[in-house]
Structure 1
Amino acid sequence: MAERRTRTFEGVLAQIERRIVEDGLTVGDRLPGERQLAEQLRVGRSSVREALRVLETLGVVSSQVGRGPDAGAILTSKPGSALTDLLRLHLGLAGLEPREVIDTRLMIERWAATHAAVARADTQALAEAVAGMDVAGSAEDFVEHDTAFHCAIADASGNRLIAAIMRSLRDTMRHYAVEAVESLGDTAILQADHRRILEAIRAGSADEAAAAVTAHLEHAYPALWDR
């Protein structure tokens, strides 16, 4: 499952890059809309949406112009080596042990949450992800919103490289995350952690945000926690 999703994600990125080259798009041109890209690439819209988020993080596109499912992102630079480097990172992460990924996430997310709190960053995306988890109908659905929450923390830190690495880490761990949620059964403690992180960032409490992230990863992956 994780391998298939990783291939889908990488495939969407590669196909979008190919479309940019084959269509002769230049900076300022608009990509096809999310719905149109999903149909053309024969993948789910969620895969297209995540790929576009990564491209935006890397400064390749801007999705701020236009609204609605048919409003395409604007090309702000040629993908070139940035996309190639991201794909290489994705492939490299695929062979890591879950414990290695969790240790890396701990370092990155504590840093990101701290900086987001200090900056009093916008927490709307975090709140929307929490709301999505509240109504999730399956472990897979919960993990989709959970991924959005943790990637939003990285985005809120203001560091684009941190955000790109977090998305790669989360995609690598997606299957394990689903298994962890299924094993826990009740996600109440995870949601309590998410709200604690959200409120700490919203309040500008850097120390509390870092502590909340640490507690959350311990609760989410108790079998991997050995501190």
Structure 2
Amino acid sequence: MAEKLTSRPGGDHQGEGGGTSASASATAWEPVPRSRTFELVLARIEEQILAGNLHVGDRLPPERELVELLGVSRAAVREALRVLEAQGVLRSRVGTGPSSGSVISAMPSAGLTQLLRLHMALANFPLTHVVEARATLERSSARLAAERATEDDLARMREQLARMDDPELTLEEFNDSDTAFHVALAEAGGNRLMTDMTVAVRSAVRGALLAAFRELTDWEAVAERLRAEHHAVYAAIAAGDVERSGDLVEAHIRGFHQHIDL
């Protein structure tokens, strides 16, 4: 039978792996209003995670218990759990043993970047806002990369530079290597969130960039300038020049978007 949420002094409840499970006392799971019910169920679960009462590996109370604790229908609970599972926050384990039920899981980077990418696409942010955010983000990444890049990091960046130097690359292939270079730069900075955000931003604008590339009458000249700027950014990072690395990558991003007038 799936584990039941119980109340005891201190609000601790030992779950799978010895960690704090669906943990807090029953009073933490207050009934919710009945309007937009499944969203409010989501909010209650998020509150438990943000409060530190639920951690990766912990199990939520069974559906029927959540129905009682929150004062909602089973349909609302199931819808909320489906949303969290689609987001990568929960994984379902089938069965009746101690490891069954809905388990809190760490969201993989791919899941996070997909959510960010979709949000950016649906929110229809003005391009100026995207460029500003990207320039600020990658300036910080480049500065960190100049401080932290390993030889493996530098090798991954050089690999993409060599690919972009190939004059036979198609627009799509050039753009993909360009993206891979900037992702490698972010990875060299050692900040996973900044890397995921870089991937999300580049993925969100990929279609618009390719469309703009195809409209250029001087693509070869633009590509040559981009190659030179990428090499300069790499050289500054490899030299450990923090200020120059940040300045160059920001100028590269802003200058590129001004040139293509996207």
Q: Work out which of the residue numbers 126, 135, 142 in structure 2 matches 1:97.
A: 126
What CA distance in whole angstroms lies between the structure 2 residues aligned with 1:125 and 1:188? 20
Q: Give the direction of change, closer, same or farther, for the CA distance of 1:91–1:189 in structure 2 (3 Å limit).
A: same
Secondary structure of the equivalent of 1:137?
A: coil
Matched residue, 2:65: none
Task: Give the aligned CA root-mean-square deviation in angstroms.
Answer: 3.2
Q: Give yes or no for the alignment of 1:124 onto 2:155.
A: yes
What CA distance in whole angstroms lies between the structure 2 residues aligned with 1:89 and 1:172? 9
Q: Which runs of 5+ in 2 are unaligned?
A: 1-84, 95-103
Q: 1:137, CA displacement in angstroms?
A: 2.1
Matched residue, 1:208: 244
Q: Give yes or no for the alignment of 1:194 onto 2:230.
A: yes
Matched residue, 1:31: none
Normalising by structure 1, report the TM-score: 0.61
Given that residues 126 and 149 in structure 1 are in contact (C-alpha distance below 8 angstroms), is that contact kept between their aligned partners in structure 2? Answer: yes
Higher helix content, 1 or 2: 1
Q: Give the direction of change, closer, same or farther, for the CA distance of 1:86–1:174 in structure 2 (3 Å limit).
A: closer
- Percent identity between matched residues is 27
Bigger relative contact order, structure 1 or 2 (CA pairs below 8 A, ≥6 apart): 1
Q: Give yes or no for the alignment of 1:217 onto 2:250.
A: no
Q: Give the direction of change, closer, same or farther, for the CA distance of 1:170–1:80 in structure 2 (3 Å limit).
A: closer
Q: Work out which of the residue numbers 102, 110, 115 in structure 1 matches 2:144.
A: 115
Given that residues 139 and 178 in structure 1 are in contact (C-alpha distance below 8 angstroms), is that contact kept between their aligned partners in structure 2? Answer: yes
Secondary structure of the equivalent of 1:96?
A: coil
Q: 1:222, CA displacement in angstroms?
A: 1.1
What CA distance in whole angstroms lies between the structure 1 residues aligned with 2:110 and 2:219? 37
What CA distance in whole angstroms lies between the structure 2 residues aligned with 1:219 and 1:83? 29
Which has the larger Rg?
2
Q: Which runs of 5+ in 1 are unaligned?
A: 1-13, 24-76
Q: 1:87, CA displacement in angstroms?
A: 3.5
Given that residues 120 and 203 in structure 1 are in contact (C-alpha distance below 8 angstroms), is that contact kept between their aligned partners in structure 2? Answer: no
Q: Give yes or no for the alignment of 1:145 onto 2:177.
A: yes
Normalising by structure 2, report the TM-score: 0.53
